[in-house]
Homo-oligomer: A and B are copies of this chain.
Amino acid sequence: MSSSSFQFKDTIITKTSAPKSSEGLPPYSNTDHMVEIDWTVADGWTAPRIVPYAPLALDPTASCLHYATQCFEGLKAFRSQDGKSLRLLRPELNLARLNVSAERASLPTFDADELLKVLVKLLSIDGHFVQPGSFVYIRPYLIGTMTGLGVCAPTSVKLGIVMVLMPSWSDKPLRLYSSNPKDAVRAWPGGFGSSKLGANYGPTLREHSIAQKDGYDQVLWLFGEEERLVTEAGASNFVAVWKNAKSGAVEVVTCSLETNLILPGINRRSAIEYLRAENKTVLETKFSIDDLDKAAEEGRLLEAFAIGTAFFVAPVKEIRTPEGKSVSVPLPSLEDGSIALELRKHFSGLMYDNYTEAHPWVVVIPKDN
């Protein structure tokens, strides 16, 4: 892997000759432009290119199509309610994680600061697609483009960024379907569940379909036939709030990163940092579906939520255990001390409020000249 990197200053920009209207686009529409940066083991990275959005021409033997030599990131750019400001939240953490994932997938790394500058430029050009009080979803990705079907680290790779107008998250509380750790496991010690690889997603879709057919929104992934540890909810991190069985103290609990079983979510991290600054007790620890069930039985379970880029903070109202038992989860209001709704309120402010003062987590996108 090359330790050298592309530089933003070398970026070549080719604007579309057929710009789309930014109004009235259906969900999942892409914006007008995208980023492409190519790498070969012989020559390292090319200069970044911002080009009109178009299909990729990939050889049918390209490594990424057969051996899942691929990793990605997901982040959002938010337009303030007054329409004046377009901003990112902690994008440097996403791009640093992309490098971690790239290394895990035997793909080349790069200077994340330079990629952030390229992304900011792309947003400067296509930012008019983001409506006031809304967001655009940003997908940086790396794929192995080496041809010939050799099973080895790709000798040619593409780094891309595309942007998609995904629908807003729903306010409907989630119903989660616990996987049975005997026959459906998302990640495991010594595996790659803590990196954002394509390989963590495709094989989980079967369980997701089973959950959806039963009327559930996401899979709650458990690990360990005996331990039945709670790890992730769908493609989000999972958080519960309960009263400690002994002390009665309110604790916010979420799976520890030490196990390497979960993705180290950026929103998870931001929520933990925010809550700890607010003097809440947040435990990154092991806990099981049985602990959750018991807490609910004893009236100690206060709430639970999924947290991630796609769904932001999504309260959970029900969890189905592997045995088919329905565990009801309370849905407190903001006034009743809901942590989920407090997080929503706080982060929505950073995302959408009319911009008044600098915040260390916020990167403001300048308008394109």
Contacts and interface: CB of A to CB of B under 8 A. Distances in A.
A183 B192 contact: no
Interface stretch (A139-147, A272-280, A290-298, A327-335): A139-147
A59 B164 CA distance: 12
B162 A61 contact: yes
Interface string A33-75: 0100000000000000000010111111100111111101010
Contacts of A72: 66
Contacts of A60: 30, 34, 53, 55-56, 141, 160, 162
Contacts of A184: 190
A203 interface: yes
A206 interface: yes
A318 to B, nearest CB: 21
B105 A139 contact: no
Interface string A132-151: 00000101010110011111
A345 interface: no
Task: Report the contact-size class of chain A (Cβ under 8 Å from the partner).
Answer: 35 or more
Interface string A151-162: 111000000101
A202 B199 contact: yes
Q: So how many copies of this chain end up in the complex? A: 2
A218 to B, nearest CB: 10
Interface in A1-54: 27-28, 30, 34, 53
A66 B203 contact: no
A317 interface: no
Contact of A190 (B27, B106, B185): B185
Nearest to A151: B235
13 contacts: A28-B61, A56-B60, A64-B64, A64-B65, A65-B198, A66-B70, A66-B201, A68-B197, A148-B166, A151-B310, A182-B190, A188-B188, A188-B191
Given A65-B143, A153-B205, A185-B188, 6 more contacts: A55-B60, A67-B201, A67-B205, A68-B202, A68-B203, A106-B209
Interface of A: 27-28, 30, 34, 53, 55-61, 64-70, 72, 74, 103-106, 137, 139, 141, 143-144, 147-153, 160, 162, 164, 166, 181-185, 188-192, 197-203, 205-206, 208-209, 234-235, 310
